[in-house]
Structure formats: C-alpha cells, structure tokens
Structure 1
C-alpha cells in the first residue's frame, strides 16, 4: 500500500509540471485522495467563457452525502486552476444518464457549483478537504441531482435485465442488500431518491465525519444518487388539504394551519442548514487550531533546545571570565612589585629554564658584542685614531672568534630542537 501511494504521488507530480505551485497543489490533492477513494484525477482541456482552452488538473468521481439518514454518492468534477491554491477551483455536478440537475442557489442549470467557501476562498488557508466537507453538508440539505421518473414496469416491458443494485418494479431491491426504491413521498413529497445502502455516522451528527469513505465510481452498485430535496411547504405547492376533523368531506380551501405548518417547516429547514454550515466551519477552524498547536509544540521544543545550548555557552563564558580576572589580578600584583623596585638588574631579569639555553644566551650576547667591536674599529680607522695594520689584526682576531661563536650557537640550537 505504501508503494502504491508513492507511485500515485509521482504521477500526480508529473501531471502538475505546468502549475505555478506544484508542491502545494500536490499536497492538497494527496490529502483529498487519501480520504475520498472514489475520486480520480485527470489532466484534460478546459474551455473558459472567452473560448480559450487550457489543460487543467481535475478530480472526478463521487463524494458521500447523507440525506435523511441515508448515504448517497454525488458525482462531481473539480478543476484546479494553474495558480492553485491562490485561486479557487471550478466545481461542477456531473449527473449520470438517469439523473437530472436540481437547480438551486448552489447549483445552476449547467451543474456549476456556487458556494460561499469558493467565493470567500483564502489562499494558503482554504483547501480541497474543507471544500468537499462544505459540499457534503450543503448537498445533504439540498441535493443537487434527482433521479429521472421511472416508467411503470407493469405496463412497459423492460428489455434489459435487472441489475443487482437496481430497484425492482415492486418497490423492493433485488439481491445486494440495498433498500427498496422509495415511492413518492417516502423521503419527501415529490422526491424520487433511492439510497444505495443505509449508513449511520459514528459521530452521531447529521452528516458523516472525515473518515475515508470507500465509495466507487458511477459504474459501481453504490454509485446511486439522491433525488430532489423536498422544498418547503408553500400555498403554491401545498398538496390536497386534509379532511378537517369532524368534516364530512374534503375542501379546496387552505387553512391557516396549513400556512403555519409551511412557514414552520421552511424556518426549520433554514435553521438546520445554517446550523450545519456553522458546525462545519467550526470543525474546519478546530482542525486549523490543532495544526497550529502542533506547530507551537514543535517550536517550543526547538526553543528549549536552543535555550539549553545558550545556558551551556553562558556557563563556559563565565568560567573564562573568572580565569581572565585571576590573571588580571596576578598581573596587577607583579606590576606593583616592579613599581616598588625601580632598579632592575638585566642579568637577573632574564633567566633561562635549562643550561643549554643559558649557553645559547651567552653565545648570542658575546657574538653581538664582537659585532659592535668590529663596527667601532671601522669608525676608529675612518677617523685616523688607529692605523690600518692594527685594524686588520684586530678584525682578523675578532672575526675568527665570531665564526666559532656562531658555529657553536648553531650546534646548540640543533641540540635543543630549534629551527636553524
């Protein structure tokens, strides 16, 4: 299963090469496909209102919708713009051959879906999972499709064999365990809806939770869709009035009780729709808060790690500062001793740690003295203080001594392991 998911992600990424934000779009698509198995992705040309065509990534399939306690699969198609998620997708309802579109404020006659979530799309905050959640809640209140009228099987022979998921002429379902085909008024007056199978959400809410729904495509027996949502009662659509209590027969007048029941039904439906919208919005906000909480927990752990590292560096700095203060105190003490004794013996001030170094120091001092002596002999010859013969004799003697000193000093440096 993990290998299959990786292959799908690779194919999805290849299909999004022309998108501006392929990483964000891929993550959004993978999240949806991980929860809605009945959806499939394709890359197809989309024709805009101005006649331009563009290859767009789209999701096609069915989503589960709970209507009056039963789960139906609604066929939809979601086109993702190449700027996703900065722009809202374009959504359609795609009815099958045995269905018609039910026009409402949320779906037009072409099947295009209009939702406040799409109109108020917030980049980097709105996502496809939240969009499908809003669709399920909205379509659970007002289904976007309804089944076409079924002919009377007792009068018109059926040239095709009855499939396991198709309702039988008697109103019951053939093999497969599906509920019988509801008659008019079973789920509301004038509705032709039939559930593929009854389902009750584990959360106890009037619509399913976010748990993955194992739906199928339109060829699967479970891909059966709800009919039209029963409109609120109104005097124009009110059925034949009931026989008043104590009356002898029916009447064509609409009593105030009928009008009152119609208004109460309309208000109740509107309140339930608003409540479901607010509940779904609250769940989406709660999910956002949970993600924010997780990010804050991760950030807190990172800050704790950095704080521990800073405390460790602070302790090391304090230790080094203490060592420097001790050295500073020692230097001040030695400076004080030198200030009390102004006369300093040079020979006692410079000491060596080994006899070999003491010998090297003496040789260097004697060689420097010979260098100075030769210099002053030259000055005496230039000024005429000494004659040339005396100068040459003394320079020859001093040079020989200087050569021996330098050779001995080089031998000492090699013995001490110093550079030559």
Structure 2
C-alpha cells in the first residue's frame, strides 16, 4: 500500500530518533484517530537552555463540557528518548484564550498527569492515543482555557474624547512632529487619533482582518481648531472631499496644511471611520464629533495608511517622489461655523452619493520605501525636508530580523548541543577502545588457559578410558582386592580411619560408664587423656596422607573421617576440591585499565590446591560459605579489620637476578660500558664455579634466596627474570624461588656473540642446544610437584640484538613455537645500542626480531623507549608485550617510553624494576615513577589546563599494570582476586594494634571503612610495613 505525503514526511524526519519505527506507528495511529492534529518538526528549548529539533504533534482535541463540545489547542513534543520518556505536553491558547491553571496545567500551559508519571516509571504499553484520551477526560471535567473578555468600542462623542486622552487611550509609538509651514504663523498641532488601528489600512500594525465592505458614507462638519499668536480661535475650512480615486492610484498620504496659507485651500482627505478628535492646546478644551456609522468604504480605508513621522527621518537624504497629476474631484463642504469652546450642536447628516468606481488596490509596504502623495497635493517645496523612509516597512524589517535571529539562535543552540553530544560520544568510543582491547587480550588469555585445560582433560579422559579398558580386560577382581586396596597408602588410610572411629566409640562408652558409676573419675580422666593423644596423632596422619592424594580423593576421605560432610547439599558433596582456608575482608581489584573495584566484607573460600573456589559478600553468604564459616576451625579463618584489604600480588615483568649482587652501583655510566664493567662481570662471577652456588656465604643460593625474600617483602608474587649463561646457575635460581614459594619465569641467557670474549657461548649451535637442555631440566625440576604448585617456568632469553646472531634468533623462535615457551629480550633501550645495531646489521632491532620470527604473543620486550607509534602498532599486531621500566629508563635511555600511546593503542604493558639498572626491587616505586614520567612528558606546566593531559596516566592505571597487566603479558590467571583464580594475595593494613598508622601512613580522622582515598594514600605512601601477610597459590609466604 502506498504511503501518504504525511507518512512519507514522518519517515524522513524520524531519523534522529532511536525508536523511529515505534514512533512512526504511534504517531500515524494518533493522526488517523484525531484528524484535527497535525505533525511538525521544530526546535524545542528546554529550561536549562538546551535546544533540540523535535517532532511535535499539535492541533485541536474535542472535549465535552456541560453538554457542549469545545476544541482545546494542544502540542505534544516527542523527546529523542521517546517512548522510554513521555512526551512534553502543553496547552497552547490562541490569541482570544487564556490558560486556566489547575493541578494538571500550570500558568505556562505545561501539563502534568498521573499517566505521564506512570509512563516515566514504566513505558511499556503507553502511547499517544491513550495519553490524549486521558487529556480529553481530564479537560472535560475542568477545561484548561477560557475566553478573554471583549472590550466594547465608544459610541458617544464624550466617550471618544475620553478615549483620545493620553491617560486612557493608546498612543502612537512616538508623537508626530509639527508639519512644515510657509508663513510666519505657527503650524497647526496634529495628533494621530486613538483607536484607529482597528479600522486602519491593511499594513497597519496589529490589523489582521480584511477590509470592510464598501458602505454608504456619512459626513458631519468637524471644525478643526488652531491657535494663533494672538490667542484668537479661528476655524479653518476643511478641504473638499475628493471623489473616488482611480483604480491604479497609489494610496495618498495625509496632506500638509497650515494657518493663513495663501492660495486656495488644499484638499483634505475624507475622515476615517470611527471617532476623530482634533485637540486644541488653548485652555485644554477639545471639540470633536463622530461620523455616523462605523463602516467606511474600501477606498476610504486604503486612503489612510498609518504613518508616523519622526524628526530623524526629516534629516535623511532620501529624495521625495513627485506627486501624480490630480484627478477631478467632487467636494463635500463642511460647515464653516462652529461655536468655539461650546459643545457641538447637532448637525444634520448629509448623504453624498459617490459614483461607482473600482476600489483602489491596497498598498504593499514591502515593495515600496515610500507611498505616493495624494492626487491633489501640491508639489513639494524645494526647501521641504526629504520624505522619510516608510516606518511600517522598517518595523516589518525589524520584526522579521528579530524572528530570524531567534530561530537562528535556537537552531545554533540545537546544533551546538548535537555537536557536544557527538563529541562526547566520540570521546566515549575512543576511551572504550583500550578497554575493549584489554578485554580481548583477557579473553585470549582465557581461551589459551581453556585450551590448555581442555588438552589436559582430554589426556585424563584418555587415561581413564585406557584404565577402564585395562580393568575390563582383567575380569572380575577378587574379594580381597575389593576390601583391601593394592596401594599401601590407601590401606594405611583405611586402618587409621577405623582406629580413629574405634577411639571415638571407646570414649563414648567410657563416658556412659562414668555416668552409671561403673568407673571412677580418676580412671576415666587418665584413660581418656591417653585415647585423646592417640586420636590426635591418627587424625594428623590422616590429614597428612590426604594432602598427597589425587584430586577428588581427599574429599572422599574427609567424608569418611568427618560425618558432618554428609549433611552438605548435593552440589557441595560432589565437589572435587576441599576448602582448607576461609578469608574474610575487603578486596581491592583492578579488573580493567583505569578501573578500581572495592568489594566490602567478602568471604573467600580457598581450596587445597590454592584456587579461589567461591567469593561472596559476608552480608549475603552462599550455603557453602555459611557452612564453612561455622565448620572451619578458627586457625583456618583469617578475618581482616574493616579498614584493611586483600589485593593481588604484584608482577615484576623485567628483572636481572644476578645483578642483585651489585644493586645500586655504577649508574653513572652509559649502557654498554655499564654492561661490560658491572653486569657481565657479576654474571660471569656467579657462573664461574657451580660449587660456589652451594655455599651458604656469598654464594649464588644466598644471593637468590635473599632476592626472593626481598621481592616477597615488597609484594611481588611473580617475576620474569634474566639469569645467566650457565644452566646450573639458573637451576639454582629456580630452586630458590620454588623453595620460597614465588612464581618465577627463569630466563637462561643466550649470547653467541659478545663484546666480552670471556662471557659468551661457544657457538650458535651450542647456544641452541643449551637452550633446549635448560627447558628440559627446568621442567624436570618441578615435575614431581602437583601442577598447581609448579611455580617455575623456563623462558628463552636472547639478551638483546648486539649479543645474538640472526641464526641464533631464528633458532630460538623455532624452539619457542615448538616447546610453547615464552621468550624475552631488550628492545630499543638506549641510543648507543640502537646506533650499534644499525651500524653492524644495517637495520633496526625490531626489524631483526621480526625477520627472525621472535615477534609473537609469547614475546615480552623490555624498555622500547625508542619505538615510534608505527612500531608500537607492530607489537600490538604481533600480540607481544612491553615491560615498562621507568626508573632504569631515566638512567640509560634519553627518551621516556610512550606509555599513554601504547595503552591507547591496546599494547600489552606491564611494569618492571630492571634490577640492577633500577636500584629498587619494590614494584610500587615503579608505579609511582611511571606516573611521574608520564606527567613530565607534558612539560613543566603545573597550572590547570583544559581537558585531560595528552600523555598522563593516573595511579589506578599503574596499579592495573603492576597486577593484571603483568599477568596478561605472562598469560597467568592472576592479577585479580575472583573465583577460579589462584589465591595470590597480599594483606594491606593501615593501623597497628594501638590504632597508630603503620609505616608512613598517618590518619587524623579515624576511618570506619575502606575508601578509595585510603587506597590512593597507600599507593602514594605505602611500603613493606603495611604488608602483613602474603600468599601464593594459597600457600602463606609470611
């Protein structure tokens, strides 16, 4: 079916509305139901000054009031959020109506109904037709408008005189000036009669009605009175009445006449309809008369346009136009006598027949600047001032200009509002891009973990199916094998549980014997003490054996040893893990870049493998949480004060473990010289004698153990470390961190070329063989440990391009893909390093890494200070990560890292201390230095600048980089405390037992709960004194 013009127009103007289809159906149905309504598109200005281009449905709606039908003018404005928000409803009174305020209509005409309130709360089912029906029902009981009272015109001369008084009648916008005179006598004073606008010319202001039909003209003698210098009153004979003007004659202006003017008297215009008054200024008396009948002919109306003369126009340079030749006229004589200062006597009405003539055309004030003079007006005097510009035309121009200015202003405000909305939308889109990229990276990491878990699950299923096939092939087992397990540990466990139950039954019967008096109290106490000691040892042994059982076996054992497990819900008893620890306290996370999450009073259940099994608010605990809160021993529950919190442990994404030996020295040298004199020498010293690593004094083990302890004290739970060339030394490093309980990605250095001949690998092939060997040895080191507790992982580590050939880089890339291990190196760190690579290789180090295949999601590059935006884009496309080390960059790089740009581009970034290029092992120092460096990139400007600084980062973003950012780079499920993640957490306290601040923290208003301001204060002032406990994979480090 074809659409009507209105329907097509509606579909065009509904573009800005999100729900355009629903609005179209609603409006179309309303217009069909109410033919007196029409749509339009106009600018709506809100109370706060905003302006929007909205759709408006306006017109009349019928109501029935006191058995009579009335039409009420209304306007319904549809906001852009329609139909979620209701329309803006107004009563729009016409010029002859007034608004009647009530509880539903305010004095401005805005309407409020209960239906609109319900619409705001729930918009489903609300529409315009229902709203209009509500309005009809409401207005039928109490109409919103009423008619204005009409004023009656004066009908008597006295009334006309009073109406002409300045105190009671309307006056012109400005009084007319005296007309020019050619004699020495003063000019006659003349004033525009009041109340003339109702029957003035069509161009007069405020006249909107068509001219009256021609009627018979009645005339009455009106003696104009003037004042002479002698004070005598002398009437002036009015000019004869002209005949009907020609058809094409231009409407005349009012003629000019003075006292004692020689020559024949000029013709006077016919008196306009309505009362006419000529005032005299002598004694304040005035004499006037009215013309019988209030209807004049159309020619008479057109002959008297409203003109106001101003002295300013008289001085203008506008040249007057000559008058047209006068046509023949028939004169109507006025009476030449009048009693001065006396009431006018009744004068007989004289009917003057007028020959038929076509009516004169109405003047068009928009086409002419002036109006032609009357046909029988004398030519203007050479000395007369020029005719002024038509004031009516100027007024129309002024009104038109004001209307256009208002509409343009409203349109400009609407466009400005749209522009601001678009800019805000653009800002939101640009700001959301990093979060989307971070979420994509997180999902990619989750996908990788899920893939790994899926592979392991497939292996487990395959082994289970193989075992089932093996058992089926063996046939039915013997009865003895069903009762007694083939594994010694299971038989021992069954015996221990049986003995524990026997002891428990024995003590129960001893208690009954004591109550019955069969044994005395002393014997009872002595026997029960012995049984209790034995039961304690058996239960401890049961717990110890249970920890070493495979996943799922421990819970089954506890179900035998602890009868209360049988009362748990089915979903709980079927769990394959055992809850061993319960933590209660606030949790602070940074789940996304720039977002800080404070979870008040959480219950965290941690299983035996160190994973968070469940987390819920203490105020609304789950059934499992409620069960463990009541059943767990007090020693297994950790509860924090209301102002303390748990936070994920930090991740150091770049650290040189052997350089901890000379931490804080040699920072005055350039990079390459510093490497030769300090770094290589220290690493060579630790590699020179493997037996030295076993010594307790000044040995590698002591250095690496102390490094791990220092990192734990400063909240670092995982580290990506550069080691040395020797495999044995790196194995000692791995053993030290596994013993302390920290996660470490150990990087055995690959250096098949070096500026120090004594510290390099023999050849490229030897480097690659050693790399593969280290991977096998490192994995074998933790092969006997359950997978969740394997905290050591090998990493391929080509030191940087100057120490690695192209061949060794290509070989390491192949090993990384084949063994699925990570790879780390330095990239674009210092100016001398970049120049050396370009001179020796002929291209940049990022090109060398790309050509070798090093750039990949498994690669982490430190520093990257000399990378430009296109090169950062290459890292993002490859999925590689950057270890940002702001402190060491300040010492060995002439440029800061483009942190803001990298984050906005979606590059994976974490923080590193770069020991010993940086002199701190505290990652909190790296967070603060990252913010300082980013702010310094804006220059030394400290005053408030409009908008966000282009290069700055805030403390929340660096806290994310130190936790979740590093975890994403290492593909770990840490960095955020949530169900399924390892319990890698640190406990942060602000107060000691006496209520005093810990470390550098001082509080003068004692807080009652954790706030964001307190977390920020810890970020700025916190240190190791505020860190009371730390856990890695559920294991307490300190």
Which structure has the highest helix share of the two? Answer: 1
**TM-score, with normalisation over the residues of structure 2?**
0.15
